[in-house]
């Protein structure tokens, strides 16, 4: 309990941890892989992956997790993830490669979880943010991050002990416009640009042919906002 207080495990952070663990358990139950990043602190990525792959408690499930390291992490994540997977990053809010991965994740169909400290990422930068407000740059070595992802691991296994929690949530549609079911403002990443005002674009549904006449020229890696099969806006990294 003292360690938890020392790293600022507030009521809000505890609630964020519980919500992230539930989603992570549901993704694992559906066959997801957890991809772990920590560009400035690679041992954290490796530590998280080991925690999930090699559980230290007898009887706990070994869950698929991989640490991604090395240069050009954006390209590495792009070719590794599948729709339904989870990307977990341990990084500062200013880490450019993590920011780019988080920005592109909706187009890849993956859930994102960001652990860090100090200045927070912008609202909506990741699906789940587990953040310590202490700005001390030595924090990664004090065990605060380690505590967070150890608790995440433990809570994920708590969810597995209650199988009724693992069923995916089904969006509820009404007679009104349903954003989930409609083709409204989906994010896509250009895979290949054509010469006829069309492009191959990766979205959470797979690779699609999208009309790009409103936003041409486009090139691989560009982020597009798509509506009804047409790119209506080209988006930046932030």
Q: Which range of residues forms the domain containing residue 23?
A: 2-166
Is the separation of the CB atoms in 223 and 214 below 8 Å? no
- The predicted model scores a pTM of 0.86
CATH of the domain at 20: 3.40.50.10490
d(CA 56, CA 53): 10
Among 62, 44, 46, CA closest to 54? 62
Q: Are residues 81 and 198 in the same domain?
A: no
Together in a domain, 158 and 200? no
Q: Is 178 inside a domain boundary? A: no
Q: Does residue 171 sit within a domain?
A: no
3-class DSSP assignment, residue 61: coil
Q: How many domains does the chain have?
A: 2
Q: Is residue 90 part of a domain?
A: yes
158 and 209 inside one domain: no
Phi, psi of 204 (to 5 degrees): -65, -15
pLDDT 10s per residue in the chain (238 long)?
A: 334 435 567 889 999 999 999 999 999 999 999 999 999 999 999 999 999 998 777 778 899 999 999 999 999 999 999 999 999 999 999 999 999 999 999 999 999 999 998 889 999 999 999 998 776 766 665 688 899 999 999 999 999 988 888 877 665 555 444 444 455 689 999 999 887 899 999 999 999 999 999 999 999 999 999 999 999 999 987 6
Residue 113: inside a domain, yes or no? Answer: yes
Residues 11 and 93 in one domain: yes
Distance CA 28, CA 52 (A): 11
Given 138, 166, 194, the domain boundary residue is 166
Residues 17 and 135 occupy one common structural domain: yes
Residues 152 and 209 both lie in one domain: no
């Amino acid at each position: 309990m003292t360690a938890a207080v020392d790293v600022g495990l507030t009521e809000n952070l505890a609630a964020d941890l519980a919500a992230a663990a539930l989603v992570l358990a549901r993704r694992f139950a559906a066959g997801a892989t957890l991809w772990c990043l920590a560009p400035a602190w690679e041992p954290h990525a490796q530590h998280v992956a080991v925690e999930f792959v090699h559980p230290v408690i007898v009887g706990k499930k070994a869950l698929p997790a991989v640490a991604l390291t090395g240069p050009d992490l954006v390209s590495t994540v792009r070719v590794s993830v599948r729709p339904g997977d989870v990307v977990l990053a341990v990084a500062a809010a200013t880490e450019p490669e993590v920011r780019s991965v988080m920005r592109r994740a909706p187009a890849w169909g993956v859930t994102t979880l960001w652990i860090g400290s100090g200045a927070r990422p912008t609202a909506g930068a990741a699906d789940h943010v587990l953040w310590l407000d202490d700005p001390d740059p030595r924090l990664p070595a004090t065990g605060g991050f380690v505590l967070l992802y150890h608790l995440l691991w433990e809570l994920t296994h708590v969810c597995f002990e209650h199988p009724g929690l693992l069923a995916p949530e089904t969006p509820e549609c009404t007679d009104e416009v349903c954003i989930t079911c409609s083709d409204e403002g989906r994010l896509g990443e250009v895979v290949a640009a054509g010469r006829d005002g069309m492009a191959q674009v990766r979205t959470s549904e797979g690779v699609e042919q999208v009309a790009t006449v409103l936003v041409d020229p486009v090139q691989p890696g560009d982020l597009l906002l798509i509506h009804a099969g047409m790119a209506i806006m080209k988006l930046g990294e932030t």
